[in-house]
Amino acid sequence: MSLPPLSLYIHTPWCVRKCPYCDFNSHERGELPEQAYLDALLLDLEQDVAITGERPVETVFIGGGTPSLMSADFYRQLFDGIRARLPLADDVEITLEANPGTTEATRFEGFRAAGINRLSIGVQSFNDGHLKTLGRIHDARAAITAAGQARDAGFDNLNLDIMHALPGQSLEQAMADLEQAIALKPTHLSWYELTIEPNTVFYRSPPTQPDSDSMADTELAGFALLAAAGFQRYEISAFSQPGKACRHNLNYWQFGDYLGIGAGAHSKLSTLDEHGALVITRYQKTRKPEDYLAAPASARRNPQPVEGTDRIFEALLNGLRLIDGISLQTVERTMGLNPAQWVPLLIPLQRQGLLTINDERLGCTPNGLRHLNGVLETLAETL
């Protein structure tokens, strides 16, 4: 039994202002405790290195919060420390999330010099009215400028995050956002519907969004526009130029392993027991930044074994997001369970035209992708 590929996730929990739709572990703060957080991250990492073994880290993703608030020197020191503790693959993909309005040209150059080779800019919209509704601190001009600065700094692997189904947004406005994004020549676009999550301002005071028919029309028009521009849809809301899919997120969706460091970060790690059987465990780090900073060496908590049908459901929860579905060989390798034991349970969904199943792969049909939440609810009841 071989272990799955390993990724590293680094969480930076601070932002300038909390957006009303955001349910991530992010906290408003002025002056950032860079040195204290750097020391905490490396202490946190040292506690987990024993679990990961000798596997090299294939991808790194720095999320938040707003990671681009931290200085380039912070990341230079961080990656020096990471490389001293963990092997990184020669072709490691290192992604940093950045928000327009928190960066300038010299900062992008510093990020690139620190070894970061992929940038994900949270634009959300190029419409100033919609940006104001979303609580963003930038305007359209700042977003366009940030994309240009990233290119000039040497980031030839660039993602832009764009939302649709915004309050008061028309189909024409949604397409204008996509057209502007495409004009900036990113290699990857994350284009997704604004969803209202619990524990957010929008959940307590929901905005009026376009109706479901309008959302469906917008999606179809957007898919056509993106395809015409050479973007391949490889996941429900992810579109890339050939060869530029996000390797980090692919590892999540294919049920690979990931080590999470930072306040509130999650990990999913596989080991082999004395009999060679696969053991999968999830962890979550201390969530509140102040508590994390106070005791980073003991941040790991709530170990949760992933066993039996939970493994099947979690693998499908992620893998069915992919347009091509998931390889049954990959599922068997990452779960340690023979597909012959559980695939027959999915035949009713295949007969309903929601899943495709063959000897090699399992995936959603186009109709299944449109109704993925319903498919997953049925799976949760079935498995």
Query: Span 318-341, mean pLDDT?
Result: 86
Using CA atoms, how far residue 99 sits from 64, 71, 136, 144, 228, in Å, is: 10, 14, 9, 12, 27
pLDDT band at 300 (very low <50, low <70, confident <90, very high): confident
Cis peptide before 260 (omega within 30 of 0): no
Percent pLDDT > 90 in the chain is 75
CA distance 51 to 31: 34
pLDDT band at 72 (very low <50, low <70, confident <90, very high): very high
- Greater model confidence, 331 or 114: 114
Asked whether residue 301 carries a pLDDT value surpassing 80, the answer given is no
Q: pLDDT (tens digit, 9 = 90+) per residue, 284-296?
A: 999 999 999 999 8
Q: Share the mean pLDDT of the chain.
A: 93
Domain 6-250: give its CATH architecture.
Alpha-Beta Barrel (3.20)
- Kind plus residue range of the DSSP H or E element containing 64: strand 57-64
CA distance 283 to 236: 26
Asked whether residue 102 carries a pLDDT value surpassing 90, the answer given is no
Asked whether residue 38 carries a pLDDT value surpassing 90, the answer given is yes
Show me where the domains of the chain are located. Answer: 6-250, 307-383
Asked whether residue 50 carries a pLDDT value surpassing 90, the answer given is no
17's CB contacts (< 8 A; 6+ apart) are 28, 135, 137
Look up residue 235 and give its two tokens: 């996941």
Burial level of 86, CB count in 10 A (0-12/13-18/19+)? buried
| CATH code for the domain defined by 307-383 | 1.10.10.920
Q: Which of 121-130, 144-153, 156-165, 308-317 has the lowest mean pLDDT?
A: 308-317
CA distance 350 to 61: 35
- Kind plus residue range of the DSSP H or E element containing 93: strand 88-98
18: amino acid identity, one letter: K
Q: Look at residue 106 in the predicted model and tell me its pLDDT.
A: 82
Query: Span 340-345, mean pLDDT?
Result: 88
Compute φ and ψ for 261, nearest 5 degrees.
Answer: -125, 150
Query: Span 306-311, mean pLDDT?
Result: 87
Q: Which of 21-30, 105-114, 334-343 has the lowest mean pLDDT?
A: 334-343
Asked whether residue 313 carries a pLDDT value surpassing 70, the answer given is yes
Q: Look at residue 1 in the predicted model and tell me its pLDDT.
A: 64
- Greater model confidence, 74 or 328: 74
Number of H helices, E strands in the chain: 15, 17
CA distance 86 to 49: 7
CA 182 to chain centre: 21
